[in-house]
Amino acid sequence: MTASALPSTPYVVKIYGPPGTGKTRALKNLVEWMTGINPEVKEELMEKGFPEEFLESVFGKYDVSEIAFVTFQNSALKEFVEERINMSLEEDRRAGKPLRYFRTVHGLCQTLLTDFEVSDWKVVSRRMGGLGPERWFQIFAAQQRKKDPSFRFDPDAMGAANPFEKANYLWQVKSRVINREYHKLEGEKIHLRILDELPPSLHDHYFDWLMFKKEKRIKDFDDMLMDAYDALKAGEIYLPTKVLIVDEFQDLSPLQFEIFKMLARDKELVVIAGDDWQTIFTWMGASPEFLINYPADLELMLKRTFRLPERVLKKALSYAKEKLRNGVYKEMVSTGKRGAVGGLYRVSTKKEADLDLLAGVIIGELKRGHSVFVLTRTNAQALHFFGELYKRGFKPKTLKRSSRWKKRVSKVGDFFDVIHSIIEVESGSPTREDFKRVAWVTGLISEEEFDEDLPLVEYIRPNWKGNIQLDKVQEIWGRLAKRFLEKIINDGIKPMEGIPEDYELYVDTIHASKGREADVVFLINEMPTRNWRKYLRTPEEVEAEARVWFVGMTRARKGLLIINTDKPFTL
């Protein structure tokens, strides 16, 4: 393919979608309407504010293959494609298939670079060998530890609020600088800017990473953005669709925003959707201003929330009015139900008595048939609560669909399966499968022997917990999995009474909960440090943090319970 300029002025639709107002459903309906798949959605689209004249002008006008749909996270994309429009993310995105350009921002850049055969991008997938950029960086970090034992990389401990390993810090800084500044510097100047941000002890590691990528002929996430930006600017690539839809627009970085503008310039229709109140990726330069200030021909404000009851909405709106001043204030309408908001104060996340109290409240909600989220600020905090709840006999899940802990060992299962089996063997109600998993993790049987049925006594040994192969666990599921399992082994499991047979309980970070909801949300108000004000120095930085907590508050369909610890943010 060769790039070509299609002179046109896009018609731009901007959709403000505050929490629970059906923004993603509106985008799904719009896709179905524009492709003529479902004429029945017209009334619902008009209720959202779409003018009838506009809808009539685009009905059945486009084939699905003429639409590009871009969002920020793979989990959101998977939900939209497979649960909203009932197509296959794997099959329908292959070359020549209708969903070729339904991608994350990074995925779209990589696809265009590959399709237009820019540089050596066509062979990149083969060179990567099925491994993602983070896995390649982990391999690199392991190699670097031969000369610097402290250079560790833990892909499970990412996030701007987390304490980083040395290699994590390098990964984070280079990505932050590139996303914020590449479009202003470009070329080799970006490397000098990255070195300015890195301590001298990491300079050699950075140069070694550049050389490692060159020798292996691989690319990382930042290369996808930089190369796409350069190729778009040079006219080497373009997006061969007539429509561009971007969800979660407020979370685009400055570099991604520049890429978006070049992708959008020759489209017939551009739809951007998001909520400036929910801008949470500010560490890489995301700003509410991108959504607020982008000019639009048609601007819609979704006001009715199908998630938040009256009391939760009142709490969220008063918080937004006080804390989120650099945004568009939205008068929202609740579900009409009363709901509940409460708080616990001076809770210690280390004291057994306080954790028992919290677990008891969770049991009460689960017994009422409520789904429950326990949301934390960091991955380390989520790990801690995972361990404490497992100790008490719960079997929580994570919200991250791509969690490394969900990687399957073909016959054995994933990390959660192994943990659940350890709990069952410990509590005295195991199945044969549970015995087999414990035998596998203690080294009594191999994966290949998993299908064999031996006498149950062959699967267990005295002091079996002391024989659990923690290095095997770390190799497959990462260091956090190993640390989590160590916690279970050392502290033991003491199931609490009253935990129901079937329930929905998720423990994860606020970031992972975005776009999701539960009946009751336990929001763990704990910052990584008591001295957080030392790190959030400007009003803009404090407001950026406040937006994260706003996202956590607005996941609740029925009740919100804020657990205030000794390291609270101002809620």
Task: Estimate the share of the chain in helix, then strand, then coil, as percent rounded to the nearest 5.
Answer: 50, 10, 40
Q: Does 19 belong to an annotated binding site? A: yes
The whole-angstrom separation of Cα 482 and Cα 474 is 5
* Cα torsion angle, 186, 293, 320, 50, sign: negative
**H or E stretch including 495?**
none
**Whole-number Cα distances in Å, 383 to 164, 376, 377, 488, 540:** 15, 9, 11, 11, 29
Q: Does 400 belong to an annotated binding site? A: no
**H or E stretch including 79?**
none
Residue burial 130-158, b: 16+ Cβ < 10 Å; e: rest: eeebbebbbebbeebeeebeebbbbbbbb
Q: Does 21 belong to an annotated binding site? A: yes
Q: Does 241 belong to an annotated binding site? A: no
SS3 labels along 234-301: HCCCCCCCCEEEECCHHHCCHHHHHHHHHHHCCCCEEEEEECHHHCCCHHHCCCHHHHHHCCCCEEEE
Phi, psi at 561, each rounded to 5°: -120, 115
Q: Does 24 belong to an annotated binding site? A: yes
Under DSSP, the state recorded for 93 is T
CA atoms within 13 A on the CB side of 139: 12
Q: Which residue has the tokens 């799904």?
A: 28
The whole-angstrom separation of Cα 171 and Cα 156 is 13
Q: Which amino acid is at 559?
A: G
Any long-range contacts for 349-358 (C-beta under 8 Å, 24+ apart)? Answer: 349/381, 349/384, 349/385, 349/524, 349/526, 349/565, 355/388, 355/392, 356/392, 356/496, 358/522, 358/563
* Cα torsion angle, 341, 347, 353, 356, sign: positive
**H or E stretch including 210?**
helix 203-216
Q: Does 219 belong to an annotated binding site? A: no
The whole-angstrom separation of Cα 295 and Cα 280 is 22
Radius of gyration from C-alpha coordinates of the chain: 25
Q: Which residues are annotated as a binding site for ATP?
A: 17-24
- Which residues contribute to the annotated binding site? 17-24
